[in-house]
A = this chain, B = another copy of it.
Amino acid sequence: MSSCWSGKGRFSNLNCLIHPRSVALVGASSNKLKIGGIMWSYLQSFPGRKHPVNIKQETIDGVKAYGRVSDIPEEVDLVVIAVPARNVPSVIDDCIKKGVKAVIVVSAGFGETGEEGRKLEDEIKSKLANTDMVLLGPNTLGVYVPGESLDTMFVLREKSRRPPDGPIAYVSQSGASASGFMDMAEYHQYGISAFVGLGNKLDVNENDMLEFFSNDDKTKVICMHIESFADGKRLLKLCRETTPRKPVVILKAGRTEAGARAAMLHTGSMAKPSQAMDGAFKQAGVVRANDLLELFDYSRILAYQKPMFGPNVVVVTSGGGYGVIATDYIEDRNVGGGLKMAELSLNSKKGLREKLPSFASVDNPIDLTGNVTDEMFDHVLKIVNKDENTDGILAFLLLQTPYTTDRLIEIAWWWFKNGEKPMVPCIIGGLYSEKVIRMLESRGMPVYPDIRRAVLSLRVLYERGRYLLKIRGKGEAR
């Protein structure tokens, strides 16, 4: 990406927002109880050059501080601004003068608070009109880029942990929920290529970031939580261009009239109920999420599992009761969305019979019963991966049965990674199950503690496969 730094124009400057070589923090402080103090300390993990800017202090934590950005005696790619709102316009002037590529305005007190704040925004906007400098925010957490050890977020790491490096770009218009989302992501070892908080979207918006991550090789899936569209038509166009190469998952909050009103109160942006756009999004190959957990589940399964090129699901279980509930959800159009229970080939059934006890069911759902052993489970996964009528697998890993061992977990992991067919694992239980789920998640295997979430994730893999077949001109998936 280094070529981007030397380039000119918006795209190159967006690259400096995510991959800066040097960073300055305006409002840096030695006081760790202040936002500028927290941010300065978190900036220390960034390996590039970093400069504190503070009009009153000579040094910050022993490092020479500059009174203004333009006093810094070298190029500055990214400036993070955390001073009171009324002081921001003059800092922007100084950044433009200095030739800064990107700024992040963390400060609140702009359009979200009323008329006076909106005037400040207009003032900044007019300053940006004659420059390529990009501005993220105001009223934003900024960015977190684990691969660069770049963290501009002022939320305390003890309270809001940071997720690991990974393949998912996460863009959000809502700061608080992004902080909760990333804390959850860390717990489940959901890896991100970057987080970008859009804040009030005065300049940089979801379309900029979608275009950027669309062209970012590290990013395999883009997920976005937005409350208003900067330009809905352009968003759809960008989605159409991106989705053939990488999945895009969008949570557009404010679907309903009341939700759109709440979004307007929240962000100050115009927001319209977006239910009407469902069809257009679907056509553009976008996966829709209704809440944060769906955003999380769908982006994760798309990042770590192959698409499903047909609707036929085999359910492998050792608890018959789980199999029945899963069957209901798969065949319920509101949840399964067109998924079907696969009809196993006679050959597969014969193969299953060979190593399963007589009372196990070799019909779908395949029920290995409480007598399941590690070997039986492995045998079944081998056969269904070869079965010509099967497109995807829902596998219940029951950790409570007496004759299975920890090897069951390794078997599931092996087939998840190496199987021909996409597999979604479901584990229901308590303390031990939670530990196993965490362990598998740390390897990048999504595990669902809930049957509905597992079926919805299979549905998303199927939607992805169907879309790919369609745009490749291979017609509808069977």
Contact = CB atoms under 8 A, between A and B. Distances in A.
Contacts of A466: none
Interface residues on A, range: 35 or more
Interface stretch (A4-12, A128-136, A229-237, A360-368): A360-368
A159 B432 contact: yes
Nearest to A361: B265
Given A266-B323, A361-B266, A451-B291, A156 B431 contact: no
Nearest to A177: B321
A187 B434 contact: yes
Interface stretch (A68-76, A238-246, A249-257, A345-353): A249-257
Nearest to A38: B402
A298 interface: no
Interface in A320-335: 320-325, 327-332, 334
Given A359-B113, A401-B176, A262 B324 contact: yes
A299 interface: no
Interface stretch (A42-50, A97-105, A178-186): A178-186
A317 B265 CA distance: 13
Contacts of A292: 325, 428, 451
A450 interface: yes
A265 B365 CA distance: 9
Interface in A401-434: 401-402, 428-434
A155 B328 contact: no
Contact of A259 (B174, B331, B369): B331
A400 B113 contact: no
A379 interface: no
A187 B428 contact: no
Nearest to A255: B328
A449 to B, nearest CB: 8
B400 A332 contact: no
Given A319-B176, A321-B173, A321-B177, A429 B328 contact: no
A160 B359 contact: no
A370 B401 CA distance: 46
B291 A183 contact: no
Which 5 A-B pairs have CB atoms at the shortest separation, nearest pair first? A174-B321, A176-B319, A266-B320, A177-B321, A187-B430
